[in-house]
Amino acid sequence: MSAWLLRRFAYALVILFAVNLLTFALFFVVNTPDDMARMQLGNKRVSAEAIERWKQEKGYDKPQWFNASASGPGRWTDTLFFEKSVRLFLFDFGNDIDGRSIREEILARMGPSLALAVPVFLVGLAFNITFALGMAFFRGTALDLSGRIACIGLMSVSSLFYIISGQYLVSKVFALVPISGFSGGFDALRFLVLPVAIGVLGGIGAGARFYRTLFLEEIGRDYVRTARAKGLSEWTVMFRHVLRNALIPILTGVVAVIPTLFMGSLLAESFFGIPGLGSYTIDAIQSQDFLVVRSMVFLGSALYIVGLLLTDISYTLVDPRVRLE
């Protein structure tokens, strides 16, 4: 187990390094710091000195891969790649355009992101499983068919529509909750009710439909037929046998998502003015703050890899047939 973990950890590091190389290539080689300076300074008629000054201020004036003017290990460490990429592994993200520490920002914004993402995740999971179980229980009937069509209908609506119309109806017309904003403590509940409801509603279509197929696959198994042959009621079969076994693929699938909850939800956070990581990312994209975007890419990749690891581990925990080797 520990040897396996160690190997996976090394593999994760290699992948993160590749991600870093890729984003470095995207952000610095294809798109040189000069272009970046020109974009940040606003117009195309910037003097060469202004660009140089900007690059020096932000630390972009070093050679990309290899510094011939330095000596010793400094030849490799005093470069743009080392400064901007390798430091990410130490979670040293540098400062954003406004001069604030990106690391502090991320730590401060994690809370609001989780306050939105965790309820959406949990409530959504419970909702989807219930809905899917209902459809599987009434499989083949008109109720199942209308449930399926409802799922497809819900899936076909743009998430922007849920947010815009929800915000308009609930916050503006009926004035039940504030339109946007956030605050700490219990007061946050007021601000979170609507985005959570919208997040859950937007996820029902795809989620419930997927879980329904999982349940139906399980219902076709031999052990379910055996349970029925013993004379168990349909109710017992569904809850004691089908639900429990179908939870294995559901839970292992869900584990991969848990770490990415930290990244927050891009759309909901930006529409509802929640100061989380999602809205931070959107702001960074819109103000073309590449350092923040790169930090978020690194963080997202790291969390994704943690999710993969957790998935593998959770398999061994719930299914004794699987062993890590």
Q: Quick one: CA dihedral 218, 221, 226, 231, positive or negative?
A: positive
* Contact assessment for residue 147 and residue 135, using Cβ atoms and an 8 Å cutoff: yes
Which of residues 31, 56, 130, 183 is near another protein by CB under 8 A? 31
Contacts of 203 (CB under 8 A, 6+ apart): 120, 124, 128
Minimum CB–partner distance for residue 216 and another protein (Å): 6
| Residue 173 DSSP one-character state | I
State the angle between helix axes of 2-24 and 290-318 in degrees (0 to 180), rounded to the nearest 10. 160
Asked whether the beta carbons of 292 and 280 are under 8 A apart, the reply is: yes
Of the candidates 278, 315, 318, 313, the one whose C-alpha atom is nearest the C-alpha of residue 1 is 313
Q: Is residue 22 near another protein by the rule CB under 8 A?
A: yes
Query: Does 156 sit near another protein (CB under 8 A)?
Result: yes
Stretch that binds another protein, among 51-59, 82-90, 119-127, 294-302 (CB under 8 A): 294-302
Binding-site member from 42, 72, 73, 140 for another protein (CB under 8 A): 140
Chain positions 263 to 292 lying near another protein, rule: CB under 8 A, are: 263, 266-267, 281-282, 285-286, 288, 290
CA–CA gap between residue 269 and residue 81 (Å, rounded): 32
7 binds another protein (CB under 8 A): no
Tokens of 288: 């073309």
> Measured from the CB of residue 291, what is the shortest distance to another protein in angstroms?
12
Q: How far is the CB of 185 from another protein (least distance, A)?
A: 29
Q: Which residues are at the interface with another protein (CB under 8 A)? A: 14-16, 18-19, 22-23, 26-27, 30-31, 35, 39, 137-141, 144, 148-149, 152-153, 155-161, 164, 168, 172, 216-217, 220, 228-229, 231, 234, 260, 263, 266-267, 281-282, 285-286, 288, 290, 293, 296-297, 300-301, 304-305, 308
